[in-house]
Chains A and B, each alone.
Chain A
Amino acid sequence: MKKNLLFSLFIAASIMVSTVSFRNIGPKPKVPVSVADNAGLTLPSGFSASMVAENIGRVRHIAVTKEGDIYAKLERAKNGKGILFLKDNNGKFQEQSGFGDYVGTGMRIHDGYLYGSSNTDVYRYKLNDKDEVENPDHPETIVTGLLDHGQHNSKSITFDNDGNIYVNVGAYSNSCQVNDRTPGSMGIPGCPILDSAGGIWQFKADKMNQHYGDGVHYATGLRNVVGLDWNQKENVLFVMQHGRDQLHDLFPQYYDTKTSSVLPAECMYEIHKGDNAGWPYIYYNQIEKKQILMPEYGGDGKKMADKKYLDPAMAFPGHMGPNDLLFYTGNQFPEKYKNGAFIAFHGSWNRSPEPQAGYFVVFVPFKDGKPTGKWEVFADGFAGKEVIMSPGKAEHRPCGLAQGPDGSLYVSDDVKGTIYKISYNN
């Protein structure tokens, strides 16, 4: 009895201490690392990395063919071309050709076609038996006329196994304020942005010239999704949301700079048709594990949401910018990576005056379609510096992920245009 009392008091005290001291916890400690050069990256033991392409442009998403060649989508056209085709030449990839006169983010291979997205449309190119584009100047337009107001205009794409393509349309706003990003401006009632943005749309993967009306408004309340992938094991869509910015800038009465630097969470959602993740009415607080009412809609940093929106499958510290998601289906990496999720975190900007965070690739172990354990930093060091105060100082920023035919993981960088290949060799 006495011992129990003592013990429980001790536990209570420890919990109180630990809750507070770990409140603003940043990235998790890394697993044991390998010591080789690895193109400047820090990796778990047994992995190695090399730069297989450098200075090719601002590469957003990438796709690797069954022959091991790479298609890279550019955010900024190079000689008027928005897609690069690179062929493996003894470990170094060389640019073969450029095509597609549009910039954008999406780049995936599906069912014998290369799909690429501009900031308004989705196109596809028929591939031959070597996965080379047959007719680079005449793509088929699959989806057209999606909104692009500058802000959050990436149209990332993924596919299910039933002939559908999923396209993100990001909200052209931070938090649906009457005056976007203006201190104290309140949210527009019944946020009108959500009718045509801030969600995921489903279209037919093989039908030409589809507009909004031809598609299914698959999920809503998602501020901006750049990374999304179909989980083949569970046959379901997963997305990574970029959470809202600037809680302190806009509502300093409720949030200090430290709190604002880690809130709200960057959320991973398992998405089913009809889901609503709650933007702009709520955000997710990953420390208290609660859905919180947005200050623009009457929140004060503490008030919980009165309506139940979708809870995240996993929540990460704020502002790290998840720009791609990939479920690993290869056989090269150790067993624990199979069917788990890799996430490329582009790196934060709105943590100032605190140091920025992200600029790494994370791994989340999965079992039966659910995350089983804590996330861990898989590849770090892209930024080239221990501490990044300002994103412009990062040498490289991870943006796209792809799996090679041999099970290697490819990571693109949209600062210098580097493509990294990460392999496991014991």
Chain B
Amino acid sequence: MNKIYIVGFSLIALGFVLTSGFKYSSVENSLIHSTFQQQRNPGEVVYKKYCISCHQADGGGVPNMSPPLIQTSYVLGDKVPLIKIVLNGLKNVDINDETYNNPMPALGSVLKDQQIADVLTYVRSSFGNKASAVTAGDVKKTRAEMKKKSE
């Protein structure tokens, strides 16, 4: 009888080990993942947290829904309109003759100046893009100008 209990309990234990084993491995993975992220480009970290779903890991966007960040004057052109898009969002605008139906949220109250500078610098120098960096000062200045205009 004892033997049966031992076998039975060890099966339960096995169940727990296997069950939790899977859980731990996923926690472990995400820990490794986040440590790894911190070592990377800070703009890439912001991109992966706030932008990747819609604009995709390759910056290619989603056809008909979210515009690509590759080879577009919106990304490669003047910094100020680009900063404003991140601050205010964007909706129902045709880009390179394509329509995109999903709105971009306004991230001005979600992201700090440095985060916006980092992510825009990352976007302007990734996916084959080559354009100058954006600084926290640029973002701060744009915010101030927008505030002044709305007053």
Contacts and interface: CB of A to CB of B under 8 A. Distances in A.
Contacts of A184: 110
Contacts of A9: 7-8, 11-12
Interface string A1-43: 0100110011011101101110100000000000000000000
Contact of B60 (A6, A16, A245, A393): A393
Contacts of B50: 183, 249
A2 B22 CA distance: 30
Interface stretch (A121-129, A138-146, A287-295, A384-392): A384-392
B26 interface: yes
Given A9-B11, A151-B101, A391 B110 contact: no
Contacts of A392: 56, 58, 60-63, 68
B53 interface: yes
Interface string A182-205: 111100000000000000000000
B101 A389 contact: no
A273 B48 CA distance: 43
Interface stretch (B13-21, B78-86, B116-124, B131-139): B13-21
A415 interface: yes
B41 interface: no
A245 B103 CA distance: 13
A349 B65 contact: yes
Interface size class of B (residues with CB under 8 A): 35 or more
A390 B57 contact: yes
A352 B104 CA distance: 17
A256 interface: yes
Of listed B1, B26, B104, residue having the most chain A CB within 10 A: B26
A362 B30 CA distance: 32
A13 B15 contact: yes
A391 B64 CA distance: 11
A2 B23 contact: no
Contacts of A350: 53-54
Contact of A182 (B65, B68, B101, B106): B106
Main secondary structure of the interface of A (DSSP, over half): loop
Contact of A16 (B18, B56, B68): B18
A153 B57 contact: no
A223 interface: no
Contacts of B11: 6, 9-10, 12-13
Contacts of A16: 15-16, 18-19
Given A9-B11, A20-B19, A183-B110, A353 B91 contact: no
B105 interface: yes
Nearest to B4: A2
Nearest to A15: B15
Contact of A12 (B15, B58, B64, B102): B15
A13 B68 contact: no
A256 B68 CA distance: 25
B55 to A, nearest CB: 9
A258 interface: yes
Interface string B73-109: 0000000000000000001100000010111111100
Interface string B39-71: 000000000111011101110111111101000
Contacts of B56: 349, 352, 389-392
A20 B8 contact: no
A187 B114 CA distance: 29
Interface in A124-172: 149-153
Nearest to B65: A349
A20 B4 contact: no
Contacts of B49: 252
A180 interface: yes
A75 interface: yes
A301 to B, nearest CB: 15
Nearest to B92: A150
Contact of B12 (A13, A179, A252): A13
Interface of A: 2, 5-6, 9-10, 12-14, 16-17, 19-21, 23, 75, 149-153, 179-185, 245-246, 249, 252, 256, 258, 349-350, 352-353, 389-393, 415
Interface of B: 1, 4, 7-8, 11-12, 14-16, 18-19, 22-23, 26, 30, 48-50, 52-54, 56-58, 60-66, 68, 91-92, 99, 101-107, 110
Given A152-B101, A182-B107, A252-B49, 20 more contacts: A9-B8, A13-B11, A13-B18, A16-B18, A17-B18, A19-B19, A21-B22, A150-B91, A150-B103, A179-B105, A181-B103, A246-B53, A256-B26, A349-B62, A352-B53, A389-B56, A389-B58, A392-B68, A393-B60, A415-B63
What 4 pairs across the A-B complex have the smallest Cβ distances?
A13-B15, A182-B105, A392-B60, A390-B56
